[in-house]
């Protein structure tokens, strides 16, 4: 045991931005799919009396100075929901604790958005004008931020959510981030938001399909991030079957937790995003292709983000002896 550093949310936010997180996550996906990462199974803990969900993920990237264990929670009996988390960082040379990132769940949100950015970089049409966002939580903002890093010229964002007040706040937040570069508006139905959009992003906690295959425009790209547990579902399974290119962050994990659990017949043709990033599998090659990426969130993303934060922060932070 030795000195352990404590970094709080403001330290973490200052240490990594969306662009850096996209690059870190892309490298992590490549490492994972090429066998250069260690990734244990996800621990999912429910706290039903408070509608609480807790996810514990861990991982190690071969050669990285640190490995990490991340806990992220969402308690939905509160208004607004209580979202929290921390990342425990360990020295990969001897396993000693190196730092606690008391980020309040920020890195989870950022790296989830960044994964959408990686997917869009390789799978979205070159020209994107209209974006549909199904969901009104933090990912509505982070996914649009990530898309703007790789397809910056979109001019319209359409947001749908079950709760009109939440949707109004999401519209205001996204508009504030995009400024005069695009129009952000609420749409009264999922279908109205999705039809004609070149990129469709789903980020809800739904347990039944919200997006139907018939609504998708030719050549659209779909990023699905909400399904990260048994029974969760945002997409009509026919969307996965009709996709010209179906990508996943982890084939095994998506088959258990993601949209792929509802279309098990598509498992073998699903390409892991890391193989696409590495050029071992094809990304989008035709503007008419329907592309889908099923993202459940893998622990190597947390490790990559944590290593980037540690590198940026250097010797800063409060130090405690344990």
So which residues are the catalytic ones? 228
Q: Are 219 and 242 in contact (CB under 8 A)?
A: no
Whether 116 and 147 have beta carbons less than 8 Å apart is answered as yes
Rounded to a whole number of angstroms, the distance between the first and last alpha carbons of the chain is 6
Helix H segments across 124-234?
Answer: 138-150, 164-178, 190-194
Q: What is the side-by-side strand order in the sheet with 221-224?
A: 183-186, 156-160, 130-134, 199-202, 221-224, 291-294, 245-248, 271-272
- Tell me which residue has tokens 């982890």: 250
Q: Convert 227-294 into a string of H (helix), E (strand) and C (coil).
A: CCCCCCEEECHHHHHHCCEEEECCHHHHHHHCHHHHCHHHHHHCEEHHHHHCCCCCCCCCCCCCEEEE
User: Cis omega before residue 202 (within 30°)?
Assistant: no
Rounded Cα distance, 69 and 300, in Å: 10
Of 103, 86, 61, give the one whose Cα is nearest residue 304: 61
């Amino acid at each position: 045991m030795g000195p352990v550093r404590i970094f709080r949310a403001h330290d973490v936010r200052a240490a990594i931005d969306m662009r850096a997180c996209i690059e870190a996550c892309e490298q992590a996906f490549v490492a994972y799919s090429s066998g250069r990462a260690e990734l244990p199974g996800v621990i999912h803990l429910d706290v039903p009396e408070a509608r609480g969900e807790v996810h514990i993920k861990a991982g190690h990237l071969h050669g990285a100075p640190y490995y990490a264990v991340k806990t992220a929670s969402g308690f939905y009996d509160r208004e607004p929901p209580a979202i929290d988390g921390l990342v425990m960082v360990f020295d990969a040379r001897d396993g000693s604790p190196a730092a606690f990132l008391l980020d309040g769940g920020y890195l989870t949100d950022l790296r989830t958005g960044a994964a959408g950015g990686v997917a869009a970089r390789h799978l979205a049409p070159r020209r994107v004008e209209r974006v549909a966002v199904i969901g009104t939580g933090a990912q509505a903002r982070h996914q649009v931020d990530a898309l703007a890093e790789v397809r910056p010229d979109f001019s319209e964002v359409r947001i749908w959510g079950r709760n009109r007040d939440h949707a109004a706040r999401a519209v205001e937040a996204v508009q504030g981030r995009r400024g005069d570069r695009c129009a952000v508006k609420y749409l009264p139905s999922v279908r109205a938001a999705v039809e004609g959009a070149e990129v469709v992003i789903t980020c809800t906690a739904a347990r039944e399909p919200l997006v139907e295959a018939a609504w998708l425009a030719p050549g659209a790209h779909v990023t699905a991030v909400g399904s990260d547990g048994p029974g969760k579902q945002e997409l009509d399974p026919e969307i996965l079957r009709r996709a010209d290119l179906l990508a996943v962050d982890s084939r095994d994990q998506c088959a258990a937790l993601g949209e792929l659990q509802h279309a098990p017949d598509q498992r073998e043709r699903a390409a892991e995003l890391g193989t696409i990033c590495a050029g071992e599998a094809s990304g989008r090659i035709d503007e008419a292709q329907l592309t889908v990426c099923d993202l459940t969130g893998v622990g190597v993303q947390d490790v990559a983000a944590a290593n980037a934060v540690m590198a940026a922060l250097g010797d800063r932070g409060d130090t405690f002896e344990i």
